[in-house]
């Protein structure tokens, strides 16, 4: 099996496992992840934040985004443009979002905010304890990280998304910290 086929199979397996979590379990585990995030100094000191908007069975980020907005922090969320580009678009209120053609909430505007960001709360399908990340297969985050300055890249995932090994490519960007409902893994000490 080649690299692309391995990634495709792993994505399918992890997506199925994650979608089997009940809404109540997902909410409870997401709340625990948010509590762990609160224990990370870089998270609490952040003034500029890039955070994905949760979709389907992902770790829920709307409570986080609401908290960032209440604190009047500089907040940006992803907006996909075409097949290859992702922008960091400023967000000041949840009413600025609308579902895109896939149903993912996204900003109505295409006005990108410049980096740097103190933290980026990052989604993914699979992760390793070494900070490696398996995304959804389009490379948006890897390209975005390659072109934007982020002090601390924080991945959030349910423990069932942690695997021993991932099929990796040179363009895959590692994370700095990984947070699950059970632990905080500081990956910077592994590099």
Number of domains, the chain: 1
Ranges under pLDDT 70 in the chain? 1, 189-191
**What's the CATH number where 116 sits?**
3.40.50.10420
Summarised one tens digit per residue, pLDDT across range 70-86 is: 999 999 999 988 888 89
Summarised one tens digit per residue, pLDDT across range 122-161 is: 999 999 998 889 888 788 998 999 999 999 999 999 999 9
**What's the pTM?**
0.92
Considering Cα of 111, then 94, then 134, then 177, what sign does the dihedral take?
Answer: positive
Which structural domain range is residue 56 located in? Answer: 3-190
């Amino acid at each position: 099996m080649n690299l692309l086929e391995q990634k495709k199979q792993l994505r399918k397996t992890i997506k199925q496992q994650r979608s089997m979590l009940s809404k109540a379990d997902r909410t409870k585990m997401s709340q625990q992840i948010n509590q762990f995030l609160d224990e990370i100094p870089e998270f609490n000191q952040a003034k500029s934040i890039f955070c994905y908007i949760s979709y389907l069975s992902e770790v829920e980020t709307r409570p986080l985004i609401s908290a960032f907005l209440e604190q009047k922090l500089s907040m940006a969320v992803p907006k996909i443009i075409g097949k290859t580009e992702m922008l960091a678009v400023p967000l000041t209120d949840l009413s600025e979002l609308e579902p895109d053609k896939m149903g993912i909430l996204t900003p109505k505007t295409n006005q990108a905010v410049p980096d740097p960001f103190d933290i980026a709360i990052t989604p993914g399908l699979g992760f390793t304890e070494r900070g490696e990340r398996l995304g959804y297969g389009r490379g948006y985050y890897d390209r975005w990280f390659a072109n934007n300055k982020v002090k601390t890249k924080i991945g959030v995932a349910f423990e069932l998304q942690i695997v021993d090994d991932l099929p990796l490519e040179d363009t895959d960007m590692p994370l700095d910290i990984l947070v699950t409902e059970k632990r905080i893994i500081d990956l910077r000490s592994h590099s």
